[in-house]
Structure 1
Amino acid sequence: MKLLAIPALLAGAVQAFQFLNDIPVDGYYNEGSDFVIEWKPEDRGDTFRLELYTFLTDPIYVGPSPNPWGGPIYDYNETTTVLDAAARYSDGNHTWHIDLINGRSGADWYYRFGAILGTVGEVADYARAFHIQAS
């Protein structure tokens, strides 16, 4: 019975972490400006890994699935950049000086924040993606 409770506890840990930014739908931010990433601060001394993901708005078609029951294969050209390898839960924010990742700007590219929590790497993503406008 104790083993059955572990997934529920891990899911609770991910759900407890919460990004607070109010990013508008299809929002644009300017390269070279500062963006303060905010999360609900927690009274604890450990850390998490704050990440930034970039990916295509419209994926590239790669081909059909090798499995007869699978759908087509797409490439979103996703990359991950670590913004802070040891962000403290208690800080409640991190200032990101907006730099383009591999020249990815405009409507073709999305950016999104994520946090890798705990020792087993639970992921807490900020669901709202946004675009970066090149300067």
Structure 2
Amino acid sequence: MKLLAISALLAGATQAFQFLNDIPVDGYYDEGSDFVIEWKPEDRNDTFRLELYTFLVDPIYVGPSPYPWGGPIYDYNETTTVLDAAAKYSAGNFTWHIDLINGREGAGWYYRFGAILASVGEVADYARSFHIQAS
């Protein structure tokens, strides 16, 4: 019974954090502009890690799985950039000056924000993916 209570508590904690940005499906943003990342502010003093991920829309086929029960192996060429290692829950926003990561622009690359919530064991919450167009 205790395990069920702990699971429910952790599920509630991860659902409490949420990004508020209304990012359109397949949305494009301009390099060099500012993007205000918004989340539901909370009255607390601890922090979370705000990250930016980039990855391929169409992954590269690496090969078959070495295991008989596995499917094919793909490489999404994902990278992670820490935007703020100690973002405050109470702040409710962070302004990101849009820069291309390793020249990754256009329809072939996705960008996505994530929040790593150390208070609940490194659980991440993600905003919808989008594209960056070069200026």
- The Cα of 1:8 is off from its aligned counterpart by 1.8
1:35 — aligned with what? Answer: 35
- Cα shift at 1:70: 1.1
User: Residue 29 of structure 1 aligns to which amino acid in structure 2?
Assistant: Y
Alignment partners' CA distance in 1, 2:65 and 2:108: 25
Rounded Cα–Cα distance in structure 2 between residues aligned with 1:68 and 1:88? 46
Question: Which range is displaced more, 24-33 or 115-124?
Answer: 115-124
Amino acid at match of 1:53: Y
Runs of at least 5 residues in structure 2 that lack an aligned partner in the other structure:
none
Q: Any idea what SS the aligned residue of 1:132 has?
A: strand
Paired with 2:24 and 2:65, the residues of 1 have a C-alpha distance of 35
The amino acid of 2:118's aligned partner reads G
Q: CA deviation at 1:2?
A: 2.2
Unmatched runs of 5 consecutive residues or more in structure 1: none
**1:121 pairs with 2:130:** no
Determine the structure 2 residue equivalent to 1:54.
Answer: 54
| Alignment match, 2:78 | 78
Asked whether the equivalents of residues 62 and 74 of structure 1 are also in contact (C-alpha less than 8 Å), the reply is yes
CA distance in 2, matches of 1:56, 1:77: 6
| Cα separation, 2, equivalents of 1:29 and 1:118 | 29
Alpha-carbon distance in 1 for matches of 2:112, 2:12: 22
Partner of 1:88: 88
Percent identity between the two aligned chains: 84
Q: Which residue identity lines up with residue 23 of structure 2 in the other structure?
A: I
Q: TM-score, normalised by structure 2?
A: 0.96
Q: Deviations over 1:70-104 (max 9, x none)?
A: 11000000011000000000000000000001110
Deviation at 1:9, TM superposition (A): 1.2
| Contact 1:60–1:74 (Cα < 8 Å) also in 2 | yes
Q: Work out the number of aligned pairs and report it.
A: 134
Query: Does residue 5 of structure 2 align to residue 5 of structure 1?
Result: yes
1:100 and 2:124 correspond: no
AA paired with 1:46?
Answer: D
TM (norm. structure 1) is 0.96
- The residue that corresponds to 1:25 in the other structure is 25
